[in-house]
Amino acid sequence: MNNVYLSIGSNIGDRLSKLQQAVKLLNSIPGTEVKKISAVYETAAVGLTDQADFLNAAVQIWTKFGPEELLSVCQDIERQLERERTVRWGPRTIDLDILLYNQDNIETERLTIPHPRMRERAFVLVPLAELNRELKEPHSDRLYRDLIRKAEGEVRLYREAVDVSTFLELTE
């Protein structure tokens, strides 16, 4: 099994419900199991800033899928949850990004892992470091938690971390 970390976020509609639906869909895929989920954080948009705040979290999954297959799985979940890709960094019902895949460095036409902008974004690094304080960048051996103070954006706790089954039952 491959040890993978994903970032999930939403800023349209019932944001918490969209995160929960994404986790449920991930967990329903044969050969994939959501092992842990971080707390949920509320953050202002990055890039295109004139939009609603996001809810963000990170999840650790174990999966049989290779990186390209997993990207397709994530994009399929985004389609199921009605994500529309009309404006770069624009509002979205759901966003799933592969942050880390084992400790591999991967670069293809469709995919770069570690995620190329994750070290710049507090909304990614804070929940990721919460899941595993000892995670290191594959190419530099620097701890991700040490990169948080240089990352962009304020991160506000929205919901405390709980186990996956409890997370799936939370309400706004």
Specify whether 95 is catalytic.
yes
The Cα–Cα gap between 20 and 26 comes to 10
Which one of the listed residues 50, 88, 95, 104 is annotated catalytic?
A: 95
Q: Is the dihedral of CA 162, 168, 169, 172 positive or negative?
A: positive
Which one of the listed residues 50, 85, 92, 104 is annotated catalytic?
A: 92
Query: How many angstroms separate the first and last alpha carbons of the chain?
Result: 34
Specify whether 141 is catalytic.
no
Which one of the listed residues 50, 76, 85, 97 is annotated catalytic?
A: 97
Specify whether 121 is catalytic.
no
Specify whether 119 is catalytic.
no
Q: Which two tokens stand for residue 159?
A: 């919901």
Which one of the listed residues 83, 85, 119, 149 is annotated catalytic?
A: 83
φ, ψ of residue 60 in degrees (nearest 5):
-105, 125
Active site members: 83, 92, 95, 97
